[in-house]
């Protein structure tokens, strides 16, 4: 019995080895080879090389090693997959560095190939002058770049007919064919955001990057919604999203989507609204329409959070997909895809990279993250009831062309390196500035960072460390200021508060939503969203918040005090402001550093 077992095992290994090796063949799909030697002979015949020539013999030996190497690397992958979770930290470090060096070895072999390759290429000119540059010679060294390479190309060199055919079928991930579809820099960013957002569940998710946040939102809505569907939408969404839904998706001559605006935030109000919506549009639903949910949390312009996990559970119990715009949270405040319960996670998470993730204000970009089987499958596949043609890639990304170019992808990747540090400062500034304003009886602060705010409980429950969204609104309605007094005061807030139409940059930005970001809403819709003409939306930056407070007080002294003499008397004292800043800075930093992994956990032990 022992002899038989030993005899059968090599046959199994040989069969598996051959299957792995075939991936490298120029005839990977049409080969009839039954051994690696036969694969080698097919390869030489495919390119018209005499196997008995000196060149043919050297090429045969090299190709044979490569076929075996491919099978061995696949064996390494299988071993890694089955053992990684059981390895201690020391072994993981050793495995990582061994594989890293193996990558250098493979790259070195490729680099060594370049000189004879270049000489052969140059010889093709036949004495008639140099041919045009062939980029493959110079691209190998990019493998050693310490940062993702900005790949500025529209298209790519084909390996062979069968490989590029697989690429067009979505079966050859490393053979990119057109930068509108895949680009190495773009892929680096997609991998980075999935790792950041999904963490330990990253292997189950994929991301597609778009040239703006709105392009990402349009893509996921176009992919999820069918004509006549019912869509529950949280009330406080960005004005551009409202316009997209109202002026395109909801129009009868377009998608005829029935929008149901949800005004609540907690699970109880959502459960009630869901039941009401199902009853109200029963006619549509009974005729085959689907019901789905679109949320923005934290929402624009007030920064309120919704109970995302509980809403997801209820939606999924009713076969509804959930799309979440988590731009304002960033993965620093909320990581909804890392919830322990899978049914509590949204099906799609959307970010406008333009905002905090990039942070510079120099790039517009967006991303959709979703479960891998909903994002991409090779043609002909079907997973978990989703056909390949229904995936976001084939259904939308492949045909719409709203891709993210390599320069923008690189900008976002660089910005993400400082995201956590920037958000830490913004959280401190938000807590300090709103606490300062909240003391004043004639200034109304609408920020869930204040402990007494109605949305504070959900913020505390859902956000990391209970930190607030760094976007909030303020108004001076209690001061009853004439319009000209208010507008002159508002205009004087530059440069400490920049008058720009964006959020998430390093500088603090202030605007009046009714006139700018939410001007697409009707007056009635603005009121429902809690937006008045004098509402000021403030997106805190990484500025010196005490300098901002000083500027705010000076502007009030110059423009408001002449009309309301006692207005400035209600500001906090200078000493109290100093003490407030010191206390909040210490509190937030202590929360941040206390939540870093313990040394015991980092060394591989139980925390």
- For 300-318, how does the pLDDT look when each residue is reduced to its tens digit (9 = 90+)? 888 999 999 999 999 999 9
Percent of the chain with pLDDT over 70: 95
Residue 563, classed as helix, strand or coil, is coil
pLDDT tens, position by position, 103-118: 999 988 988 888 888 8
Q: Report the number of secondary-structure helices (H) and strands (E) in the chain.
A: 24, 13
Q: What is the pLDDT of residue 142?
A: 82
Secondary structure letter of residue 249 according to DSSP: I
Q: How far apart are CA 434 and CA 445, in angstroms?
A: 7
- The stretch 521-539 carries a mean pLDDT of 80
Q: How far apart are CA 66 and CA 58, in angstroms?
A: 13
Which residues contact residue 62 at a Cβ distance below 8 angstroms, ignoring those fewer than 6 apart? none
Q: What is the pLDDT of residue 145?
A: 87
pLDDT tens, position by position, 551-604: 999 999 999 999 999 999 999 999 999 999 999 999 999 999 999 988 988 888
Longest dimension (CA), the chain: 101
Ranges for all domains in the chain classified under CATH 3.90.1150.10: 418-599
Q: What is the pLDDT of residue 140?
A: 79
- The stretch 263-277 carries a mean pLDDT of 97
Secondary structure letter of residue 132 according to DSSP: P
- The stretch 152-160 carries a mean pLDDT of 87
Q: What is the pLDDT of residue 7?
A: 38
Q: What is the pLDDT of residue 526?
A: 75
Residue 573, classed as helix, strand or coil, is coil
Contact 181, 398 (CB under 8 A): yes
9 pLDDT more than 60: no
Ranges for all domains in the chain classified under CATH 3.40.640.10: 184-411
Q: How far apart are CA 214 and CA 235, in angstroms?
A: 17
5 pLDDT more than 50: no
Q: What is the pLDDT of residue 130?
A: 57
- The stretch 191-216 carries a mean pLDDT of 97
- The stretch 4-13 carries a mean pLDDT of 39
CATH of domain 418-599: 3.90.1150.10
Q: What is the pLDDT of residue 4?
A: 38
Q: What is the pLDDT of residue 250?
A: 97
Q: What are phi and psi of 296, to 5 degrees?
A: -125, 115
pLDDT tens, position by position, 384-416: 999 999 999 999 999 988 899 999 999 999 999
Paired strand residues for 208: 368
1 pLDDT more than 70: no
Burial class (CB in 10 A: 0-12, 13-18, 19+), 12: exposed
Q: How far apart are CA 182 and CA 186, in angstroms?
A: 7
Q: What is the pLDDT of residue 343?
A: 98
Q: What is the pLDDT of residue 6?
A: 39
Per-residue pLDDT band for 125 (boundaries 50, 70, 90) equals low
For residue 298, cis peptide bond before it (omega within 30 degrees of 0):
yes
- The stretch 229-258 carries a mean pLDDT of 95
Which residues contact residue 56 at a Cβ distance below 8 angstroms, ignoring those fewer than 6 apart? 44, 49, 50
Least confident of 285-294, 404-413, 526-535: 526-535
Per-residue pLDDT band for 174 (boundaries 50, 70, 90) equals low
Q: What is the pLDDT of residue 2?
A: 38
Q: What is the pLDDT of residue 134?
A: 78
Q: DSSP letters of 145-190?
A: -SS------SB-----HHHHHHHHTT--TT---BTTT--HHHHHHH
Fold classification of 184-411 (topology level): 3.40.640
pLDDT tens, position by position, 464-506: 999 999 999 999 989 999 989 998 999 999 999 999 888 999 9
Q: How far is CA 129 from the centre of its chain?
A: 48
Q: Directed axis angle between helix 36-46 and helix 54-83, to 10°?
A: 130
Contact 556, 478 (CB under 8 A): no
Q: What is the pLDDT of residue 313?
A: 98
158 pLDDT more than 90: no
- The stretch 127-138 carries a mean pLDDT of 68
**Dihedral in degrees, nearest 10, Cα atoms 554, 557, 559, 562:** -170
Q: What is the pLDDT of residue 357?
A: 97
Closest of 264, 256, 210, 255 to residue 235, by C-alpha = 264
Q: What is the pLDDT of residue 27?
A: 96
- The stretch 31-58 carries a mean pLDDT of 96
8 pLDDT more than 60: no
Q: What is the pLDDT of residue 516?
A: 66
Paired strand residues for 178: 155
- The stretch 34-39 carries a mean pLDDT of 95
Mean pLDDT of the chain: 92
């Amino acid at each position: 019995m022992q002899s038989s077992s030993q005899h059968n095992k090599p046959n199994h290994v040989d069969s598996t080895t051959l299957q792995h090796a075939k991936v490298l063949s120029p005839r990977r799909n049409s080969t009839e080879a039954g051994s690696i030697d036969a694969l080698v002979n097919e390869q030489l015949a495919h390119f018209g090389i005499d196997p008995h020539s000196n060149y043919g013999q050297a090429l045969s030996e090299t190709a044979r090693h490569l076929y075996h190497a491919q099978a061995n690397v696949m064996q390494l992958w299988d071993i890694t997959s089955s053992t990684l979770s059981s390895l201690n930290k020391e072994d993981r470090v050793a495995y990582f560095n061994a594989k890293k060096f193996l990558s250098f070895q493979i790259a070195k072999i490729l680099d060594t190939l370049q000189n004879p390759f270049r000489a052969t290429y140059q010889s093709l000119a036949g004495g008639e002058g140099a041919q045009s540059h062939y980029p493959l010679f110079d691209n190998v060294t990019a493998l050693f770049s310490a940062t993702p390479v900005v790949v500025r190309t529209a298209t790519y060199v084909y390996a062979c007919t069968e490989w590029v055919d697989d690429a067009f079928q979505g079966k050859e991930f490393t053979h990119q064919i057109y930068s509108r579809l895949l680009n190495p820099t773009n892929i680096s960013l997609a991998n980075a955001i999935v790792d950041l957002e999904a963490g330990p569940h990253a292997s189950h998710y994929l991301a597609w990057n778009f040239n703006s946040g709105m392009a990402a939102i349009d893509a996921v809505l176009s992919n999820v919604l069918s004509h006549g569907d019912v869509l529950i939408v949280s009330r406080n969404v960005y004005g551009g999203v409202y316009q997209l839904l109202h002026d395109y998706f909801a129009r009868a001559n377009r998608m005829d989507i029935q929008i149901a605006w949800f005004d609540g935030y907690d699970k109880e109000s959502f459960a009630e609204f869901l039941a009401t919506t199902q009853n109200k549009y029963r006619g549509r639903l009974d005729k085959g329409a689907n019901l789905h949910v679109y949320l923005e949390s934290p929402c624009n312009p007030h920064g309120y959070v919704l109970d995302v996990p509980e809403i997801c559970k209820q939606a999924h119990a009713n076969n509804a997909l959930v799309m979440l715009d988590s731009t304002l949270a960033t993965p620093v405040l909320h990581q909804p895809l890392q919830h322990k319960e899978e049914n509590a996670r949204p099906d799609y998470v959307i970010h406008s990279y333009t905002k905090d993730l990039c942070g510079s204000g120099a790039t517009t970009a967006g991303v959709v993250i979703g479960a891998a089987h909903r994002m991409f499958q090779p043609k002909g596949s079907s997973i978990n009831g989703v056909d390949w043609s229904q995936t976001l890639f084939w259904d939308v990304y492949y045909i719409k062309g709203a891709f993210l170019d390599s320069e923008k992808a690189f900008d976002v990747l660089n910005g993400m390196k400082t995201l956590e540090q920037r958000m830490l400062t913004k959280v401190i500034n938000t807590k300090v500035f709103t606490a300062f304003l909240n003391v004043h009886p004639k200034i109304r602060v609408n920020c869930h960072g204040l402990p007494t705010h109605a949305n504070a409980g959900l913020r505390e429950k859902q956000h990391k460390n209970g930190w607030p969204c760094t976007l909030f609104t303020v108004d001076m309605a209690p001061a009853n200021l004439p319009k000209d007094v208010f507008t002159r005061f508002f205009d004087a807030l530059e440069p400490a508060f920049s008058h720009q139409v964006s959020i998430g940059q390093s500088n603090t930005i202030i605007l009046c939503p009714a006139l700018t970001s939410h001007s697409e809403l009707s007056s009635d819709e603005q009121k429902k969203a809690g937006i008045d003409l004098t509402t000021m939306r403030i997106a805190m930056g990484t500025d010196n918040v005490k300098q901002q407070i000083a500027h705010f007080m000076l502007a009030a002294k110059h423009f408001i005090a002449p009309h309301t003499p006692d207005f400035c008397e209600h500001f906090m004292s200078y000493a109290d402001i100093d003490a407030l800043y010191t206390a909040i800075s210490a509190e937030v930093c202590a929360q941040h550093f206390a939540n870093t992994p313990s040394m015991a956990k980092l060394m591989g032990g139980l925390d």
